Amino acid sequence: MLNSRTPREVVDDAYDAILKKGDIEAFLKDFDDNSVLQETPSLPYGGTFKGKDAVRKALMRVFEYWKDFSYKPEHILADEEWVMAYGEFSATSIKTGKKVAFPLAEIWRIRQGRVVLVTPVYSDTKAVLDALG
């Protein structure tokens, strides 16, 4: 049975789960073994992660570096398969205590209600690396 939710609804549900409730399992509910998360390779938690378990581990790794994590999407654009969220990311480095804030876009590809791809696009990776020490 195909999922009747739109790509925008899938992404909205994922953001609600992780950003409002801090629920990683609810965030991952529409991911499967073919889903891909691509984090910027220059970051210490960067790389390409395929499958729900790999994405879960990648997210847990991100949370080893940051506390007071926040992403506030200001604009979300969607069509039949793609969703782009643009907003403000902020967090505090666990290691250095430095706070960082900058614009961030996240590109999502959703097919038949399942997450195919998520790619964060950082506006300032140098700021991230500086904050991480």
- Locate 51 and state its tokens: 């499958």
Domain-located, residue 50? yes
Question: Using CA atoms, how far apart are residues 80 and 123, in angstroms rounded to an integer?
Answer: 26
Q: Which residues pair with 100 in a beta bridge?
A: 91
Q: What is the DSSP string of 40-87?
A: -TTSTT-EEEESHHHHHHHHHHHHHHEEEEEEEEEEEEE-SSEEEEEE
126 vs 115: which has the higher pLDDT: 115
Q: How many domains does the chain have?
A: 1
The CATH number given to whatever domain includes residue 43 is 3.10.450.50
Instruction: With a cut of 80, say whether residue 2 has pLDDT above it.
Output: no
List, for residues 10-27, the tens digit of each pLDDT value: 999 999 999 999 999 999
Summarised one tens digit per residue, pLDDT across range 29-44 is 999 999 999 999 999 9
Q: pLDDT tens-digit profile of 67-98?
A: 998 999 999 999 999 999 999 999 999 999 99
Mean pLDDT for the chain overall: 94
pLDDT of residue 127: 87
Flag whether 53 is in a domain: yes
Q: Is residue 131 part of a domain?
A: no
Q: Note whether residue 93 is domain-resident.
A: no
Asked if the structure places residue 30 within a domain, the reply is yes
pLDDT attached to residue 7: 97
Could you tell me the residue range of the domain that residue 116 belongs to? Answer: 7-69+76-86+107-122
Residue 1's pLDDT band (cuts 50, 70, 90): very low
